[in-house]
């Protein structure tokens, strides 16, 4: 029986080996070409995600992976069939029907694995695209606040804390975090389901999230402490969470602001100001700029005496 089984595998083992060689070549090519690009795993709801630059790099890596997976899906049946055909051509005796069936079964299994991998890479790429588009959407709405006199700083890091945007302007200092995840994946970024916010936690359909609001508050508090100690200015930065793809139903007046990105303009019309002097705003902006890869452009704001001041002009540099 064992001898018969091994005879059935003759030819199939050559075809399997040739296909594995193809997979190995594609894998090594992908590893060599993609080793310089950072890995960005798709986040769970509320989990922190990479910067836009990191996401763009991951999209490029995902595109390359999808192409390699497509080549594998298309090349697997071809290589398998050619390798098996070469074996049959040089085989001096006719092959048993069982051996041909064994080879066909193994070929279909390997082709199915290749197709499954190709579809998975496509889904992963779509998800990273969605995260990128969500963060771009928030960044675009935040940038409109420059017209209200705010300096906008993007992709900031304070210690082990990553902050999407820091706003410094006439109404104070704000930390803006973007929360995205599988719950809203592939939804319209402007309209999706409703999440309930009670001032402490977010209640998504079938999921309760305490981490997003808590983490945003901690990051704002840490920034406040860092700025206050460095500049000798008592400062309290405020946190804002942006939720692309969700409508927010607020059930309590307590807690930080949690909004759809399109609501930034309305929020800053009515947000309670914590005024900064022109000198304080300039000092804070200079200090915050050290944390961020994308400092905002110079903008104009109005000083308490009515004159117009450029916050991009630094009148002091903190130690």
C-alpha closest to that of 240 among 223, 230, 226: 223
- What digits encode the pLDDT tens for the residues 170-206? 899 999 998 875 555 555 566 667 889 999 999 888 7
Using DSSP, state whether 189 is helix, strand or coil: coil
Which pLDDT tens digit goes with each residue over 61-115?
Answer: 888 888 888 888 898 888 888 887 877 777 766 666 666 777 788 888 888 998 9
- According to the model, what pLDDT value does residue 315 have? 33
Q: Where are the beta strands (DSSP E) in 193-256?
A: 194-197, 202-204, 207-209, 238-242, 247-250
pTM greater than the 0.75 cutoff: no
Question: Are the C-beta atoms of residues 65 and 127 closer than 8 Å to each other?
Answer: no
- What are phi and psi for residue 72, nearest 5 degrees? -65, -40
Q: Please state, rounded to an integer, the average pLDDT across all residues of the chain.
A: 77
The more confidently predicted of residues 208 and 53 is 208
* Burial grade of 146 (CB within 10 A; 0-12, 13-18, 19 or more): middle
Mean pLDDT of 288-304: 55
The C-alpha atoms of residue 37 and residue 86 are separated, in whole angstroms, by 40
Give the CB-side neighbour count of residue 147, counting CA atoms within 13 A: 9
Check residue 310 and give its pLDDT: 31
């Amino acid at each position: 029986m064992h001898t018969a089984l091994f005879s059935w595998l003759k030819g199939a083992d050559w075809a399997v080996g040739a296909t594995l060689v193809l997979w190995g070549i594609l894998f090594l090519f992908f590893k060599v070409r993609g080793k310089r690009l950072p890995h960005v795993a798709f986040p769970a709801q509320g989990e922190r995600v990479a910067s836009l630059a990191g996401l763009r790099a991951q999209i490029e890596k995902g595109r390359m992976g999808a192409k390699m997976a497509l080549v594998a899906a298309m090349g697997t049946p071809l290589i398998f069939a050619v390798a098996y055909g070469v074996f049959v051509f040089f085989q001096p005796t006719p092959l048993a029907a069982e051996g041909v069936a064994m080879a066909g079964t193994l070929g279909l299994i390997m082709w199915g694995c290749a197709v499954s991998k190709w579809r998975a890479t496509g889904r992963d790429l779509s998800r990273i695209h969605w995260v990128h588009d969500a963060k771009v959407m928030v960044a675009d709405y935040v940038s409109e606040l420059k017209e209200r006199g705010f300096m906008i700083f993007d992709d900031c890091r304070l210690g082990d804390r990553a902050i999407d945007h820091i706003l410094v302007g006439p109404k104070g200092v704000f930390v803006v975090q973007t929360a995205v995840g599988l719950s809203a994946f592939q939804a319209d970024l402007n309209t999706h389901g409703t999440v309930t916010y009670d001032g402490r936690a977010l209640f998504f359909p079938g999921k309760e999230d305490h981490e997003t609001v808590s983490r945003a508050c901690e990051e704002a508090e840490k920034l406040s402490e860092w700025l206050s100690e460095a500049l000798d200015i008592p400062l309290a930065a405020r946190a804002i969470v942006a939720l692309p793809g969700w409508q927010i139903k607020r059930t309590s007046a307590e807690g930080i602001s949690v909004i759809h990105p399109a609501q930034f303009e309305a929020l800053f019309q009515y947000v309670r100001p914590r005024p900064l002097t022109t000198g304080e705003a300039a000092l804070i902006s200079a200090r915050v700029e050290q944390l961020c890869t994308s400092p905002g452009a110079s903008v104009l704001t109005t000083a308490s005496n009515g004159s117009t001041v450029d916050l991009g002009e630094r009148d002091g540099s903190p130690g």
